[in-house]
Amino acid sequence: MIYFQSLTQQDLASLLRPLSRVQSKARISTEELEHKLTRQARYRAKQIFHWVYQRFQTDWDQMTDLSQDLRAWLKAHIQIFRLNSLQSHQALDGTHKFLWSLEDSKTIESVIIPAALREKNAQESSKAFSEEGAFFSGRVVSETMDSDHWSRLTACISSQVGCAMACKFCLTGVQGLDRHLAIHEIVTQVYELRRVAPITNIVFMGMGEPLHNFENVVKACQILLDQDGLAFSKRKVTVSTSGLVPAIEELGRRIDVSLAISLNATTDEQRSRIMPVNRRWNIEELLRACRNYPLGSHRRITFEYVLLKGMNDSLEDAERLVHLVRGIPSKINLIPFNEHSGSDFRRPQDSVIRSFQRYLLDHHLTATVRISRGRDILAACGQLRSILGTARGSERHQEWGQGLTRQ
Ligand code: SAH
Ligand code: SF4
């Protein structure tokens, strides 16, 4: 059985090509026949993409404009994959987190993050001090996920079970890599979320290092961008990486998506301490790859910067950051550290976060602060999975999680 969500439209057309038939009374040349058969297969593939990704039909028999023969063939050969939701939790700020169980019983997470409407943003900006952190009243998905309530619904998806990059502040990093996700497992996270909410943006900021699972992530992006499928715009699909330099270069050559870099430090010494990947490709090499990354019109690279108390949150860091990103069309996303039991780092005080942001703004950078969304449902990378005891090495996180959920 082939999983439907692992196929691009082109792949599907190639599979359907031998099934194509042309009835022609007139004699036609072999070339013309070939052309007609290919065109027919492409047309069928497009129809099927519409059925599955735009009309959310999962039963081949209901695809009434396909021939009986074709439906029978699809039933026998191609399976529309579904993810089984083990848990889903909604936080008071509207963030909705899903824990999925895979066929081998491993678990992954995806999160829907709503961004409130601009007006509400403005009202709440003093409280949240960033556009990312605007308040959003939480109810169940079906009630809140209508466009009167939000300006953007972002699906944050996973690319691996765990992660091999071992960043010191990250719970997924502490857990280690279990396995890569297959193409259909990546695409289906979005497919399932899209079934319950009109997702507008996708970020690969869940579990895993997307560029470590390069081929599957590239193909998943191609499928997500297909205008006959889920039809995301390339500007609204963002791949976030800890800095695998050759893969960043290759990504730029292979596909047009937005890029986010987890910079998180301003000197090599500091960065190597918290992100082992920096020992392989240092800040200079990473930023060179960013400068060379092909940006389309209106596009900027996002630099994520996790603020760790006493580690990378000084004004000297802010000053170095300004110098580092100079000349790169970019925006800085400051993420106050989300504390967890797998790490001794602490979140800086709000006043420190504000001063850091102020410094960047005063030096003409775009800098937002991402308020940790969905704290009450443990929406940070790898946390839900850990609390529920489905991750490796999760025993020591459980007690802590119980404490938090009681709060
Ligand atoms: N592996 C990719 C994408 C997943 S991590 C990457 O590293 O970019 C997504 C983001 O979450 C990264 O910017 C990472 O720095 C941040 N992050 C990880 N653990 C965090 C924590 N405990 N608190 C705040 N941000 C965290
Ligand atoms: Fe992996 Fe990203 Fe976590 Fe680093 S921050 S361990 S790259 S998921």
Which atom of ligand 1 is least distant from the CA of 261? 8
Structure confidence by residue, pLDDT tens digits, 338-359: 888 889 999 999 999 999 999 9
Q: Which of 50, 74, 46 is nearest to 60 (CA)?
A: 74
Structure confidence by residue, pLDDT tens digits, 128-165: 333 333 222 222 344 345 555 678 899 999 999 999 99
Tell me, what's the pLDDT at 138?
A: 28
| Largest interatomic CA distance in the chain | 80
Tell me, what's the pLDDT at 407?
A: 27
Instruction: For the chain, give the percent of residues with pLDDT over 90.
Output: 70
The CATH code of the domain at 2-79 is: 1.10.150.530
Locate all alpha helices (DSSP H) within 62-170, ordered by sequence: 68-77, 118-128, 141-144
Better-predicted residue by pLDDT, 264 or 393: 264
- Which whole-number Å values give the CA distances from 288 to 143, 261, 277, 282, in the listed order? 45, 12, 16, 10
Residues of the chain with CATH 1.10.150.530: 2-79
Under a CB-based contact definition with an 8 Å cutoff, are residues 202 and 237 in contact?
yes
Residue 368 in 3-state DSSP?
strand
What is the value of pTM for the model shown? 0.88
Structure confidence by residue, pLDDT tens digits, 303-334: 999 999 999 999 999 999 999 999 999 999 99
Phi first, then psi: give them for residue 146, nearest 5 degrees.
Answer: -110, 155
Q: How far is the CA of 380 from the centre of ligand 1 (A)?
A: 8
Residues in the chain: 407
Ligand 1 binding site (Cβ under 6 Å of any ligand atom): 163, 169-170, 205, 209, 240-242, 262, 264, 304, 306, 335, 337-338, 340, 380-381
Tell me, what's the pLDDT at 119?
A: 37
- Which whole-number Å values give the CA distances from 392 to 24, 165, 398, in the listed order? 61, 15, 12
Tell me, what's the pLDDT at 385?
A: 59
- Give the angle 14-187-206 at the CA atoms, nearest 5°: 150
Active site residue 381: yes
Residue 4 is given by DSSP the state: G
Place of tokens 């209508």: 146
Better-predicted residue by pLDDT, 371 or 44: 44
What gap in Å lies between CA 1 and CA 76, rounded to an integer? 8
What gap in Å lies between CA 311 and CA 332, rounded to an integer? 18
Q: How far is the CA of 79 from the centre of ligand 2 (A)?
A: 32
Pocket mutation for ligand 1, best pick of 306, 338, 341, 384 (most atoms within 8 Å of C-beta): 306
Residue 37 in 3-state DSSP?
helix
| Topology of domain 84-397, CATH | TIM Barrel (3.20.20)
Structure confidence by residue, pLDDT tens digits, 262-305: 999 999 999 999 999 999 999 999 999 999 999 876 689 999 99
Q: How confident is the model at residue 381 (pLDDT cuts 50, 70, 90)?
A: low
Residues of the chain with CATH 3.20.20.70: 84-397
109, 185, 192, 304: which is the annotated catalytic residue?
Answer: 109
- Which whole-number Å values give the CA distances from 366 to 31, 126, 265, 381, in the listed order? 56, 17, 17, 24
- Give the DSSP per-residue string, 181-229: PPHHHHHHHHHHHHHHS---EEEE-SSS-GGGGHHHHHHHHHHHH-TTT
Tell me, what's the pLDDT at 122?
A: 40
Q: Residue 395: is its pLDDT beyond 50? A: no
Tell me, what's the pLDDT at 226?
A: 98
Q: Residue 406: is its pLDDT beyond 70? A: no
Tell me, what's the pLDDT at 23?
A: 77
Structure confidence by residue, pLDDT tens digits, 176-235: 999 999 999 999 999 999 999 999 999 999 999 999 999 999 999 999 999 999 999 999
- Give the angle 299-252-263 at the CA atoms, nearest 5°: 70
